[in-house]
Structure 1
Amino acid sequence: MKAHIERYTFYKLLLHTMQAAIKEATVHMGTNAGKQLLEDIRSARHEVSVLSPNLNTEQMRLLLDLHQQNIKVTLLTTLCQNMIGNLEDYDFRVELIRQYKRKDSEAEQKKESLKDLIKFLAIALVSFIVASVYTYFYYYTYALICFIGLFLIAALVIYAAATELSRTSIYRYTYKTTFPLKIFIDPQNQKIRNSSKHFIHAKAFVIDQKIAYLGSADFTCSSLNSNYESIIRIEDQAAIQELLSEINRLYKSSSEDMDFVDIEEWGRMIYDEPKE
């Protein structure tokens, strides 16, 4: 009993000390430490920034719902272990990445030119065949050789033109994320080629540039609702702006020590690109 009281007194003292050290801050510790964080995120009116190495499907859908409500969402997360874009057997890439296609007028003109060339050479082939048969019956040996040579050249050119035609698409495909998103790769991830040396382990949340959260909790149901976590709620504007600057710096980072997912490469993995 005495040990329990001493432990309780220690945690109470720790909370008071942390609150006194941080201006305009509230400390949440325990198995339901993320309750206020979730309430503030759901009540966001303008923007939400999330830095969390781990997510689950429910939280990902919450961010997508916020985006649908015209709330600006920025997400920085990590592909851990052997994930390639799945959360709880759900592939979230199709909702986070959109395919866009535009018609390439130069490619369209090139394709039409190749079609016209093939038509012309096809007529030429027929003419060479007729001429070869004619010269064969009249024993014009040199002429026969010439027509056969022209036939072979025309056939090769048709083959090359047809190959190029099949490779030429009149559409160009690009890929964009549904909202600002950067996915770093865990150095231990063996399913995605990467050169990461560092694992992003920090957790931070900023709501409407007015409230920020820092602590041990990931953006997962277990962390926010059942794990014993510590979370600090900050309203100090100077600290929030500094935190946003760091999140923005990390979002724009191109450090070789922290590899991240190539969205264009992911897009080509999950969407077809018809030649047309």
Structure 2
Amino acid sequence: MQAAIKDATIHMGPSVGKQLLEDIRSARQEVTVLSPFLNEEQMHLLLQLHAQNVRITLITTLCHNMIGNLQGYDFREKLIKQYRRKNHDAEQKKESLKGIITFLYFALTAFVLGCIYTYFYYYTYAQICMLFLTVLTLIVLFATAAELRNTSVYYYSYRTIFPLKIFIDPGNQRIKNSSKHFIHAKAFIIDQKIAYLGSADFTCLSLSSNYESIIRIEDRGAIQELHSEIMRLYKSTSKDMDFVDTEAWGKMIYDEPLK
């Protein structure tokens, strides 16, 4: 992307992010954040804005198995929700399996009694037949019980509360990925009227303590170009910039009880 900027202000030094935070807190319609790192305070700010019906779009990264480098943050319910739905076919299958197990219990009881009876009154051939039927029934019973345990009446899906894209750090060794590029850019767009570019991440240190550089932009044309580029990144499916699938992420952080 290349765009000429007419109306921009450059800030350099410590605490250059104060104006950025003020503009984000004052957002009325939408906030778009592109930052490989963020912290819990800033995440809570985005959640607060979301609760105020401000449209949030967040693009961040997964580094060292921590999304946005948020250590110990519980994403369940706060950022990604689990939805449970009933699988009616599985429910019918489970009821059928229960009926088969009941039948097998009766059959097993009959075959065991048959083994005892043939042991005293019949020849060896009858005893072998009854023993074979008993063992076979036990095998089928155990297999059916295992199938019953592994059949879930419910299936689960996952959804983030606002649009979220999590790219994987190419150096991540614990999650298999095809990433070749690390998403290092930082950009913030507020209400399509103000944008920020620079070195500062969406963290307390970057915005209030570190020596950073930030450019504040009010040029509508440049902001529109920047927003379009960020949306292209958000929608990207290139394996060179691999990302965490929402469903896979949900399965990693939530339990899915087999019931």
SS in 2 for 1:112: helix
Structure with higher Rg: it is 1
1:207 is aligned to 2:190: yes
- Listed as ranges, the matches of 1:216-235 within 5 Å are 216-235=199-218
1:45 is aligned to 2:36: no
Alignment-derived partner of residue 164 in structure 2: 181
Q: Could you tell me how far 1:92 is from its partner in structure 2? A: 4.1
Q: Could you tell me how far 1:262 is from its partner in structure 2? A: 2.9
TM-score, reference length from structure 1: 0.86
206, 219, 240: which one aligns with 1:257: 240
Contact 1:47 1:73 in 2 (8 A): yes
Q: Could you tell me how far 1:228 is from its partner in structure 2? A: 2.4
Partner Cα separation in structure 1 for residue 144 and residue 113 of structure 2: 23
52, 75, 91: which one aligns with 2:73: 91
Partner Cα separation in structure 2 for residue 50 and residue 86 of structure 1: 12
Q: Could you tell me how far 1:140 is from its partner in structure 2? A: 4.1
Partner Cα separation in structure 2 for residue 189 and residue 151 of structure 1: 53
Deviations 1:232-267 (A, max 9, x none): 222222222221111111111111111222332332
Partner Cα separation in structure 1 for residue 217 and residue 48 of structure 2: 25
Deviations 1:199-224 (A, max 9, x none): 11111111112221112211111221
Alignment-derived partner of residue 8 in structure 1: none
Contact 2:179 2:241 in 1 (8 A): yes
Q: Could you tell me how far 1:127 is from its partner in structure 2? A: 1.1
SS in 2 for 1:91: coil
Alignment-derived partner of residue 9 in structure 1: none
- Listed as ranges, the matches of 1:1-276 within 5 Å are 22-80=5-63, 82-85=64-67, 87=69, 89-94=71-76, 95-276=78-259
Contact 1:84 1:192 in 2 (8 A): no
Structure whose residues are more often helix by fraction: 1
Q: Could you tell me how far 1:162 is from its partner in structure 2? A: 0.6
Unaligned runs of 5+ in 2: none
Describe the shift of the 1:182–1:86 C-alpha distance in structure 2 as closer, same or farther (beyond 3 A).
closer
Cα RMSD for the two superposed structures: 1.9
Contact 1:187 1:198 in 2 (8 A): yes
Unaligned runs of 5+ in 1: 1-20
Partner Cα separation in structure 2 for residue 180 and residue 88 of structure 1: 18
- Matching residue's letter, 2:66: I
Percent identical residues? 67
Instruction: Count how many residue pairs are aligned between Structure 1 and Structure 2.
Output: 255
